[in-house]
Chain A
Amino acid sequence: MAKAARARSEGEMRQRPPAEVVHAEELARLRAEDTAPRPPGWQLSLQGVKRFICGAAPGEAKVVCAPALVERAMVTLATSRALLLIGEPGTAKSLLSELLAAAISGSSTLTIQGGASLTEDQIRYGWNYALLVAEGPSERALVPGALHRGMREGRIVRFEEITRCPLEVQDSLLSVLSDRVMAVPELTGEAGMVYAREGFNLIATANTRDRGVNEMSAALKRRFGFETVFPIADAAAERELVRREAGLLLARSGVPHSPDPDVLDLLVTCFRELREAVDAEGTGLEKLSAVMSTAEAVSVAHAIGVKAHFLRGDAGRPEDLVACLAGTAAKDDAEDLARLRRYLDQRVAGRKGEGWRELYAARHLLTPQ
């Protein structure tokens, strides 16, 4: 317990501690209480992992998604395939992968961040060139990448935004995922072959707004189980989540009070209506091309709270929402700003309630930023 407490106090100093640090106590408790059989190399049973992610009771879930999705994801990881979480940006794919890795392997830090500049060395292994030149290829000179370490140590490796990598880098995963072995041809003897220990697997995430999975090779697709993560279906659950997460972020930013509940209500309602392109009465709206995700709502709530507290000393007003919406919605398409203006002009105009009226009154703030 002392260790866990120390880990936590260290965690408080960090801007964003990983899940295994934030939830260290809970993980330790679950491990102690878990009597169900565990897949080889796992620190928790499947029931334990599910309990960690979905909580013991409704409302305690660390990520809001269908329990069946978590079940399928766990079973995929426990059987022979890797897991690919796919969905719109901001649907908590990375959070889910972090929680899964933390629960299964006890650490979520073996992470590869996909991107256009990623090379094969960065995910497999590289060399300490000074040592390489001095001693020739040796285990000492080898700098293991995340995949190398995950295989050797039997841990879950996370691959963020896999579809943003060049296809040839993606395909370097093929032999690792099917044969569960990585050759290091520069080394001789046992070190020349890294066999994956039990517990090794890969969780990749991909978002549908970028290149999607269409270009991914069929050979690689076959080695993944696909899970689509969706925006939160239940309005109340989303509101609660935004409130909680924004509250945590605000506290970390030194804002003493939580976001104004009325403003939060407006915020989540606007985001949901614009995302689903349907208003509360079921009338169709124009769909924005920008992503109105829950994560984006959290960061808008955070921004409103910070601005209101440090600039004015209050908890946020509907007019702040208008300014932030302009920043969020008009990210990649100028037409979105016009759509947003029509939304405010036509839909918000007639709504009852102080908040909606203030929102409408502040519509002139909707200018490109």
Chain B
Amino acid sequence: MSDPAGREGLTVVGVRHHSPACAGLVRRTIERLRPAFVLIEGPADFNPSLGDLALDHALPVAIFSFRADAQGSVASYSPFCAFSPEWQALVSGRAAGAETRFCDLPAWDPAFGERRNRYADPHGARAEAAERALAAALGAEDQDALWDALAEAAPEAELPARLARYFDLLRPPGTDDPAEEARERFMAAHAAHALREAGGRPVVLVCGGWHADAIRRYAGEADGTRPEPAEPEAGMRAGSFVVPTSYPRLDRFSGYSAGMPSPGYYERVAADGFAAAADWAFDAISAALRGAGQVVSTADRIAWAVHAEGLARLRAHPAVLRADLIDGALANLVKDALDGPPAWSASAAVPGHPALLAMLRALSGTREGRLAPGTRQPPLVADVEERLRAAGLAPGPARHRLALDWAEPGDRPRAHLLHQLLILGLPGVSRSEGPDLAEPGLPREHFVLAPHPHWLGALIEASQWGGTLSMAATARLAARVEAAPDSLAVLAGALSEALFSGLAIEGALLAALDRGLAGAHDPAELGAAGRRIVRLHRFGTAFGEAARPALARLCLSLVARALGLVEAIADPRAGLDALDLLIACRDLFRDGADARPELASLRPPFVAMLGRRLADPQAPPALAGAALGFLVACGEAGAGPEALRRLRRFGLPDRLGDCLAGLFALAREEIADEATLASVEGLVAAWGDDDFLRALPSLRMAFAWFPPRERERIAVAILRRSGAGEARAEAEGLAWMRQRADPLDQAEALAREARVAARLARYGLT
């Protein structure tokens, strides 16, 4: 069966990736022809390592290819499961004694582009229109249903003709696809070369059906020299390794773009046929829905089975296919209105109902791939394992918790190592406790290390970032900064992670942060980043002698910017947003006694500026409160009667809450004494009920700055002052703290009751 359009002896089998029917066709073709060469669409640079794929892996696995240079790194996958045509070509080719080769461009080749999945179907608008028209004509709902009816359920003898017709419709014979031409010519050149080598024996080439016709044509034009993949450009790291993958990742509803639908289901189709696969699907979906607490009664299952069978007959399917199954489930198991059109086709992002999502998850199966021992691995794997062993952290069979104290000289490098693993996002490593808010002294941290099934796969994939752990972690951080060069949060986060990981601080990162701080306009963003930086600064020398001056310089920029920004804040909302910023500055001025002299020289203007804001009648109450708190906390103003006098100026219902929020945020410890509380109580007591309800949300926000234990203490104090006995005050205070109903709801109820009473009074009904 040589192709008429191409060269004598060459058989191009155009397939749909991940199609069980195509896998069968490939196997039968190779068994019949017993070719000298089997060429497969796959990365040609992997050919020297083809032995890796012949090992005894548990499928699914993927070839993971990456290229990385100074600009960043790009990864792509060529996934295989047992019923992939490409995998069948490898297995049957080896069994038939043929030489198997990958014949597609390496992933680093510029012509390969940015695609994530080598086996994603290339499609243009024209092909989609053709597919839609075909689906409409054949009465199929979407392209997956169309493909099932057309190819998966086709009798073996009819399959090649149907495939040819289908692919001709998608891409008319004789047309070129500029986006794919380089790949197609490369595969065709491989075919021509193999033909010359084969000495008259047949050659089989397995590729996506989209390319088949073009490859046949181009093979006729190729001269038969062996095409060599271009070497990666200088300075580019590139590699291809086998990684384990899993069915959920392959499924296009949860995995990467243009995967395949329901791999778990199609595995059964490939192994046992549609009837057995349908039985499996009935069980899997029922179990999934029942597991989620949904009722799937026996009567439901009977109705569902009958419905699916009815749909299959109506649609003239030879067996119950996937679309019949899910349609039947939709009609019989979902007793709700859907939020969106039900969708399990490629184009849909989300199915219209949680039950549908659960069904699709059930059909995708849970199979996890595993690599055979001895599979070639990238240097990063060895590097990480060696470092973990050297640090005494080699993952054992069980999870273990690890407490690290930065004051211990031995713990610091171990913390660095674990932080670097965290940067790479490796599964099984997590930081369960560690400093989050400002605290003086050296950090103490807790980590959890646990064996994770995806550990190795993730580690191999992380090798796209570098060959050693520190290199990979540095590159990963750089990529994160690259992606959001203007975000203070990302920059400050990267700085923090770099310091905790013991990585060298890049000058560019510091410069970007410095620029970001100096140009910040949003007090909330500046405040969040500022608190982080001040916290790092307060750890002192934990991060090494070099980090200290750099952090001090950043703190200086922060204060300089805060000086200008806080002066200009006029909007009440922005006043609340500025609290974090003022807290950062407070920490710096209050505790940073050892800081550089430049900081000390900024203190007088900063204090003067806050004094002006406090005296300014137009200043947002939160900002004025915070200014007062700052001055008290830093010892520039007294906490006693003078502060209370200032506070009374904000005694109106729409101002007090915000003002207290600012005050408590900055000087909770210094100012929250009996006198302050009594003064606040006095102010509140003067309001009417309406006023109180209006002020309640902001008052609650203000007292949220107190930890629960202190709030309870305040409650007891209030009760005591209102005349309750000691024991009663304790008990009621506890009850206040343990309220089930949201106080705001209670307030709403009170307000409504008041309205009802007022209305009743109006009609004389009281």
Using a CB–CB distance below 8 Å, which chain A residues touch chain B? Answer: 46-47, 50, 58, 66-68, 71-76, 78-81, 86-87, 208, 212-213, 218, 221-222, 224-228, 230, 233
Contact = CB atoms under 8 A, between A and B. Distances in A.
B306 A79 contact: yes
28 contacts: A47-B314, A50-B314, A67-B141, A68-B323, A68-B327, A71-B315, A72-B328, A72-B330, A72-B331, A75-B307, A75-B310, A76-B331, A80-B303, A80-B306, A81-B303, A208-B337, A212-B337, A218-B295, A222-B299, A222-B300, A224-B335, A225-B332, A226-B334, A227-B331, A228-B341, A230-B338, A230-B340, A233-B341
B331 A75 contact: yes
A163 B315 CA distance: 32
B337 A79 contact: no
Interface of B: 136, 139, 141, 295, 297, 299-300, 303, 306-307, 310-311, 314-315, 323, 327-328, 330-332, 334-338, 340-342, 352
Given A46-B314, A75-B310, A80-B303, A226 B335 contact: yes
Contact of A68 (B141, B303, B352): B141
A225 B331 contact: yes
A224 B332 CA distance: 8
Contacts of A72: 307, 311, 327-328, 330-331
Which of B136, B295, B328, B332 has the most A CB atoms < 10 Å from its CB?
Answer: B332
Contacts of A66: 141, 341
Contacts of B342: 228
Contacts of A228: 337-338, 341-342, 352
Nearest to B311: A75
B314 A81 contact: no
A75 B314 contact: yes
Contacts of A46: 310, 314
A68 B345 CA distance: 13
Given A68-B327, A71-B327, A72-B311, A226 B336 contact: yes
Given A46-B314, A71-B315, A213-B336, A225 B307 contact: yes
Contacts of B136: 58
Given A66-B141, A213-B337, A228-B338, A79 B314 contact: no
A44 to B, nearest CB: 12
B41 to A, nearest CB: 33
A79 B303 contact: yes
Given A71-B315, A75-B331, A225-B332, A230 B341 contact: yes
Contacts of B311: 71-72, 75
A87 B328 CA distance: 19
A67 B139 contact: yes
Contacts of B323: 68
Nearest to B313: A46
A12 B278 CA distance: 51
Contacts of A227: 331
A78 B141 contact: no
B352 A79 contact: no
Given A81-B332, A225-B307, 13 more contacts: A46-B310, A72-B328, A72-B331, A73-B331, A74-B314, A75-B311, A76-B332, A212-B337, A225-B303, A225-B331, A228-B337, A228-B341, A228-B342
Nearest to B330: A72
A230 B353 CA distance: 14
A87 B299 CA distance: 26
B337 to A, nearest CB: 5
A21 B169 CA distance: 41
B680 to A, nearest CB: 38
Contacts of B335: 213, 221-222, 224, 226
A227 B337 CA distance: 7
A364 to B, nearest CB: 34
A47 B315 CA distance: 9
Given A71-B315, A226-B331, A226-B334, A79 B341 contact: no
A-B residue pairs, 4 tightest by C-beta? A75-B310, A228-B338, A68-B141, A225-B331
A131 to B, nearest CB: 42
A73 B311 CA distance: 10
Nearest to B316: A47
Contacts of A58: 136
A205 B332 CA distance: 16
Contacts of B315: 71
A59 B328 CA distance: 26
Contacts of B310: 46, 75, 78-79
Contacts of A221: 335
Given A68-B141, A79-B303, A86 B327 contact: no
B68 to A, nearest CB: 34
Contacts of A208: 337
Which of A50, A67, A71, A208 has the most B CB atoms < 10 Å from its CB?
Answer: A71
A76 B311 CA distance: 9
Contacts of B331: 72-73, 75-76, 225-227
Contacts of A68: 141, 323, 327
Contacts of A233: 341
A81 B340 CA distance: 24
A18 B340 CA distance: 30
Nearest to B136: A58
Contacts of B330: 72
Nearest to B352: A228
Contacts of A218: 295
A225 B306 CA distance: 13
Which of A71, A73, A75, A87 has the most B CB atoms < 10 Å from its CB?
Answer: A75
B197 to A, nearest CB: 51
Nearest to B341: A230
A213 B297 CA distance: 20
A299 B341 CA distance: 25
B652 to A, nearest CB: 31
A74 B310 CA distance: 9
Contacts of B337: 86-87, 208, 212-213, 226, 228
A227 B330 CA distance: 8
Which of A80, A213, A228 has the most B CB atoms < 10 Å from its CB?
Answer: A228
A63 to B, nearest CB: 15
A68 B315 CA distance: 10
B298 to A, nearest CB: 12
Contacts of A80: 303, 306
Contact of A79 (B307, B338, B340): B307
Contacts of B332: 76, 81, 225
A224 B300 CA distance: 11
A80 B340 CA distance: 27
B145 to A, nearest CB: 8
A233 to B, nearest CB: 7
A50 B306 CA distance: 19
A68 B141 CA distance: 6
B553 to A, nearest CB: 42
A71 B314 contact: yes
Contacts of B299: 222
A222 B300 CA distance: 8
A369 to B, nearest CB: 31
A79 B117 CA distance: 43
Nearest to A39: B310
A213 B295 CA distance: 17
A71 to B, nearest CB: 6
A289 to B, nearest CB: 17
Contacts of A67: 139, 141
A1 to B, nearest CB: 30
Contacts of B352: 228
A72 B330 CA distance: 9
A84 to B, nearest CB: 9
A222 B340 CA distance: 22
A218 B303 CA distance: 16
Nearest to B137: A58
Nearest to B139: A67
A43 to B, nearest CB: 17
Which of A66, A79, A87 has the most B CB atoms < 10 Å from its CB?
Answer: A79
Contacts of A74: 314
